[in-house]
Amino acid sequence: MKQTTEIITITLETCCSCGVPFGIEESYRQELIKNGQTFYCTNGHNQYYTEKKTLENKLKEQKAVNKSLECRIPLCESKVLYSFIQYRFTNKLKDEGIETIGQVLKLGEYGLMKIYGIGKAAIDEINYNLNEYNIRLKP
């Protein structure tokens, strides 16, 4: 009689409904974690791995946030102020040493309102033009 030996890894799981312990072959388990697919305990209760999916979604969201932040960097470095605000406001900002939209974003609405000659109209105008980049001034 011919015999072959195969080594496989079985991971012990416990049913979240009835508590019965059961084994899942590890590579299959990894697949279940990855795709969040339903599997069953030996008593037939539905199971699926949720934490992985939640973390993956969080990662996806965070990557989108990072992407939008990356998009802001060239905006902050290269866009000239007068493309966001009327020339008369640009001059008031320049008097305060503010020359980039990056500085404006850092100040936010509150910081800008403290500058003489900058008011609600200027803030609204900046926000209107920032909208194209999906950005708003912080309050």
Chain residues binding Zn ion by CB under 5 A are: 15, 17-18, 41, 43, 45
Question: Taking the complex as a whole, how short is the minimal distance between the CB of residue 79 and Zn ion, in angstroms?
Answer: 59
Question: Taking the complex as a whole, how short is the minimal distance between the CB of residue 132 and Zn ion, in angstroms?
Answer: 54
Residue 135 near residue 76, CB atoms below 8 Å: no
**Cα–Cα distance between 111 and 124 in angstroms, integer?**
14
- Report the amino acid identity of residue 58: K
Q: Cβ closer to Zn ion: 15 or 76?
A: 15
Q: Cβ closer to Zn ion: 14 or 66?
A: 14
Question: Taking the complex as a whole, how short is the minimal distance between the CB of residue 15 and Zn ion, in angstroms?
Answer: 3
3-class DSSP state of 55: helix
**Cα–Cα distance between 105 and 91 in angstroms, integer?**
17
Task: Give the pair of three-digit tokens for residue 117.
Answer: 């000659």
Q: Cβ closer to Zn ion: 15 or 32?
A: 15
Question: Taking the complex as a whole, how short is the minimal distance between the CB of residue 71 and Zn ion, in angstroms?
Answer: 48
Dihedral sign, CA of 70, 87, 131, 124? positive
Residue 109 near residue 138, CB atoms below 8 Å: yes
Q: Cβ closer to Zn ion: 22 or 133?
A: 22
Question: Taking the complex as a whole, how short is the minimal distance between the CB of residue 20 and Zn ion, in angstroms?
Answer: 5
Phi, psi values for residue 68, rounded to 5°:
-70, -35
Q: Cβ closer to Zn ion: 39 or 133?
A: 39
